[in-house]
Chain A
Amino acid sequence: MKKLLILLLLGVPLASCDLTGDEFLAPQNSSALTEEMVFSDSIRTTAFLTRIYSDIGVDFELGIWSSHGNINQATDDAEYTLSSPTQTAVIHYSGTLNPATYASDGNMNLYWRMPYENIRRVNMLIANIDRSPLTQATKTRMLAEARFLRAWYYAGLMKRYGGVPILENKVFTALDVVNVPRNTYAECVEYVVNELDAVAAVLQEPQQQPDQFYGRANAGAALGLKSRVLLYAASPLFNGGAIEVAKGTPVEPIISYPNYDVARWQRAADAAQELINKGWYSLHVNNETAPGYGFYEVFLRRGECKRNCVTHFFNGFFDVTALA
């Protein structure tokens, strides 16, 4: 009897097991944030948008901190001395960029991956913002800001690559096969311009923007970016200026407009005029301290030039980097 008892006692653990995921094998409590915790909370949802803002300086960096130099070394503006074949600039100028040499760390991250990360974040916000306990007015403003930012990241991509895949509001899941062809350059321009027109109608005018929103996208920033996108579209490289080897190939409409059209200059000029006519901005002039000092001040004086600098959308960013 005693022996049976011993046997029983030893056998208890065997009996107490359950093969389909029991407490013993359940995940431990974790301190990590989850999707539910983020989008059911107004402050965290706002922080999700803030994250998209935090990368807007991407064009400003592009490898300038790298000892191997920036993207200029891929052009005839500069020469790369070390010839390390895996450096981003070398991959670009020697024409060896392909899916097998593409590495998303290093500078490539800034050129390609980071804009698409932020485009996805915008689409995530669009898809989830309704779950968040925010007022309708705030939601509308945040969505417009997010769409502005999406246009901003597309504009950066277009500047470097020409036409890129436009995802619209798509949020990929783990089971999606990602096979999105590049849109033509013309399609990208139209997409970005339409987006900016749409958000410009929703976003506040600079003068109406409350002080605490300084640094967030407003209607002035949207129209400013639209003007810049159209100006680049009219410029020689994109306005029928594809490189010789691409001429007549399917790649040509992707990297530029296939032909030159003088009307694109007009359209760029009209877009600039549209913003000027709003009367929101004027030139910040200060030639007394030193000639051109006003231009210098534009970048440094937070808030002060709110009414007259179209660049003020960026100032939030510059202040952050200065503090970092």
Chain B
Amino acid sequence: MLRQTRFLFLLPALLLFACSFTPEQPVSKTKEETGLIQIRPSTSSRPAVLKLLEKARRAAKAGQFDVAEAQLERALRIEPRNATLWHYMARLRLEQGRMEQAAGLAARSNSFEHDDASLQANNWRIIAHARYQQGDIEAANAAQARADALAAD
């Protein structure tokens, strides 16, 4: 069901911020921004959702996070079990600095059926980042370990 949507791009910025995920080196804002912009689903998702994602991408690039959010919500109403869409939503929250929601949405993304290990790893990285920002180092390390394990597979 969810195999329609997959990554074409392996979120270079996410990986960057994953590498940079050390207590001494918080992620810079610009990297996060380019991260959202470079995410693209594969063309096998339905055109309506791709169109909305394109709109969301443009809005996020222009810094209009509310508009991006509205487009992602529209896409989610069409494909509510699309793990990738939930992942984008989590990334958006991360950019908005809403850490609790970012972690919640990333976990929601991982709760759907999908065998995309890199997507799951990226969701765990979002959780790690959010927990770190919230000062919960233990939870951040645990999430990072999950991400690393998935990435190693």
Q: Do A and B bind each other?
A: no
